[in-house]
Amino acid sequence: MRQRAKEQDKFERRHNFEAVEENFTPEQAKEEASRCLNCKNPRCVQGCPVNIQIPKFIKALKEDKLQEAGDIIRETSMLPSVCGRVCPQERQCEGNCVLGIKSEPVAIGALERFVGDNTAAKSVNIVPSGKKVAIIGSGCAGITAASDLRKAGHDVTIFEALHKFGGVLRYGIPPFRLPRVVLDREINNLKEMGVKFEKNVIVGKSITLKQLKEDGFDAIFICSGAGLPKMMNIEGENLNGVFSANEFLTRVNLMQANDDSTATPLRVGKSVAVIGGGNVAMDAARTSVRVGFEHVYIVYRRTEAELPARLEEIRHAKEEGIEFKFLLAPHKIYDKDGYVNGMQFEVMELGEPDESGRRSPVGTGKFVDLDIDTVIVALGTGPNPIIQKSAIVDGIEFETDRKGYFTVDADTRETSIKTIYAGGDVAPVGQSNAINAMGAGKKAAKAINEFLAG
């Protein structure tokens, strides 16, 4: 039987930002590890974007070789404690587990988290290469690339626009899903390897790509994320009380805006509608509960079957009292003295599948109102064009797609400009999540290493 980690009481956790899930006990970890079949053709590894040798680390764990299990994971991933908590395992490694065909898959994510939390990264002998690499952004892609590049001996500097490191892992993911002590530990591992970190540096404003090249950087990896929110383009969207999920989560996670004593406190109303159905929507809704909203709604234009969020996130949201409203699409926001005073939605029905394979929502011409005073828009983000625009001034013009994402080689992540690479949410391939960003970081690092060695 699949082991279950102990969880914080659903009523208590509504009032704090502590981790919802505890780690496995050592006994639970060994019991769960014993369920692994150690397949000769491990489909779980194929389902992992960074190809962690899952059966090998689980076998070591089963044999009480805990540190060896940690070493096996860190051969390909420097973020086991992070990925064990935030990766969509049900669609990747666990989704490919043979046991899942007739029973429940091995709890690979929970085992990875257990190993990551209970082992240390071993020291690495660095042989200086004499080469310098600049990494723009300290999120999943940047941290992963920095690790691989530093192991190859390069002088690596990560430039971060914000005042704390971790990118979306820090400003976007709430601490009840990813405790900050975990993230800080992973970043400190890189610092101990000799990776340099520079904060409050906006590349394109504080410094340009041209200046980085003039400063002697032999290669540049751009992984600055996609911080430009996509909005609804409806009447009332500019009213006070309307937030993008990016702004809302950043203000709470990074600036403690839920504390009235801070410089930029958050205005907490009575009822909030979170528009969207992905993990960011779940994070925004669950954060809304914790900052004090009495009624929290997740409004999604399809049905529950089409929700793209992790099943665990959906379950936790329901347990915490969040109400889901399906088959509703935003139509307009009501105004009272410049503030949100309710919202109107069009009732939808599902039509034919769209290009993603999901059935498209179709308007019925019927409308319903929701009594709310706050709206959080979680419909995704796009790339901020600061870097591209500043580069044009210096005569560097990147190829981008119609949405503004960098066009890159799928294998090397090199952009249209030689020695400049891009990955993560600025040049996405597949779903936008932590492990895919890490995969991009590994590909870019491999290509940069080969280029610098050549």
- HSE-up of 130 (CA within 13 Å, CB side)? 1
**Measured distance CA(15)–CA(240) in Å, rounded:** 25
Give residue 362's pLDDT band: very low, low, confident or very high (50, 70, 90). very high
Q: 132-227+383-453 and 228-381 share one CATH topology?
A: yes
Q: What are phi and psi of 115, to 5 degrees?
A: -65, -45
Reported confidence tier of residue 175, pLDDT bands at 50, 70, 90: very high
CATH superfamily of 13-118: Alpha-helical ferredoxin (1.10.1060.10)
Q: Is the pTM of this model over 0.85?
A: yes
- Determine the average pLDDT of the residues in 252-272: 89
Token pair in block for residue 101: 């065909």
Tell me what the mean pLDDT of segment 64-88 comes to: 94
Please give the class, per CATH, of domain 228-381. Answer: alpha beta
- Tens of pLDDT, residue by residue over 136-157, are 999 999 999 999 999 999 999 9
What CATH number matches the domain at 132-227+383-453, 3.30.565.10, 3.30.420.40, 3.50.50.60, 3.10.180.10?
Answer: 3.50.50.60
* 269 touches 373 (CB < 8 A): yes
Average pLDDT (119-147) is 95
Q: Is the pLDDT of residue 431 over 80?
A: no
pLDDT of residue 430: 67
Range of lowest pLDDT (2-16, 102-116, 253-267) = 253-267
DSSP classification of residue 244: E
* Residue 276, pLDDT above cutoff 70: yes
List the chain domain ranges: 13-118, 132-227+383-453, 228-381
- Both tokens of residue 235? 């009447």
Which residue spans within 72-218 are E strands per DSSP? 132-136, 155-159, 196-198
**What pLDDT was estimated at residue 432?**
73
Percentage above 90 pLDDT, the chain: 87
Is residue 120 pLDDT above 70, yes or no?
yes
Is 262's pLDDT higher than 90?
no
Q: Is 159 helix (H, G, I), strand (E, B) or coil?
A: strand
pLDDT tens sequence across 325-356: 999 999 999 999 999 999 999 999 999 888 87
- Exposure string over 374-402, b if 16+ CB within 10 A, otherwise e: bbbbbbbbebbebbbebbeeeebebebee
**What pLDDT is attached to residue 306?**
92
Evaluate the CA torsion angle 443, 444, 448, 454 in order and state its sign.
positive
Torsion of CA 348, 352, 355, 361, to 10 degrees: 0
pLDDT at residue number 354: 81
pLDDT per residue as tens digits for the range 400-413: 999 899 999 999 99
Q: What value does the mean pLDDT of the chain take?
A: 94
Q: How far is it, in rounded angstroms, from Cα 226 to Cα 168?
A: 9
**Under a CB-based contact definition with an 8 Å cutoff, are residues 299 and 330 in contact?**
yes
User: Exposed, middle or buried: residue 353 (CB in 10 Å: 0-12, 13-18, 19+)?
Assistant: exposed
Q: How does pLDDT run across 21-32, given as a tens digit for each residue? A: 999 999 999 999
